[in-house]
Amino acid sequence: MKRHRLHAFLQEKRNQMIVYLLRHGASREDAEDIVQDSMLKGFLYLDSIDPDKFSAWLFKVAINRYFDMCRRKNRQVHLSIDSITLPASECGPELSYIRQETREEIQSTLGGLSDLSKRLLILKYDLHLSYKEIGVMLELKPETVKTYLYRARKQFEAHYRRENDHDG
């Protein structure tokens, strides 16, 4: 039973890390390679990692590896918001067009935010991590995460309204 829970936990973290890297612009292949390397490193250092911080440690290793890869390839990091799409069978062409336009607006708005704000918003609202998990990952107190997230939401909202004022 313990083995099954560990496998489920690792599979969930693997999937979350891949989604996180994809949102930062990694290709599927790069994301899978980075996550595999990060998990291997996690197992090698398992005895020296606080069990309560293992998940955050894995995320930190994965994102740092991705940023290093981008620097080596002289590639810019960008965020992707593909998670708000519905399968084509669930929406007609008009709704599909509106969703695509909304994705582009969200992408543009995120591009105007600070890196910390982008990361916080993705970790909380795309990956549904807790304040504690985000805090461990970013080396912030959970209360600080909550405050920064509030500011990031307000910053996103203001940017979005300014960039997408279709009436004015």
Residues with Cβ < 8 Å from 8, sequence gap 6 or more? none
Angle at 156 between CA 77 and CA 149, to 5 degrees: 90
Every domain range in the chain assigned CATH 1.10.1740: 1-78
Every domain range in the chain assigned CATH 1.10.10.10: 96-163
Whether the predicted pLDDT of 121 surpasses 80: yes
Whether the predicted pLDDT of 76 surpasses 60: no
In tens, the pLDDT along 30-60 reads 999 999 998 888 888 788 888 888 888 888 8
User: Which amino acid is residue 163, in one-letter code?
Assistant: E
Asked if CATH classification 3.30.300 holds for the domain at 1-78, the reply, yes or no, is no
Longest dimension (CA), the chain: 60
In tens, the pLDDT along 82-94 reads 443 334 444 455 5
Closest alpha carbon to 66 in 40, 104, 28 = 28
CATH architecture of 96-163: Orthogonal Bundle (1.10)
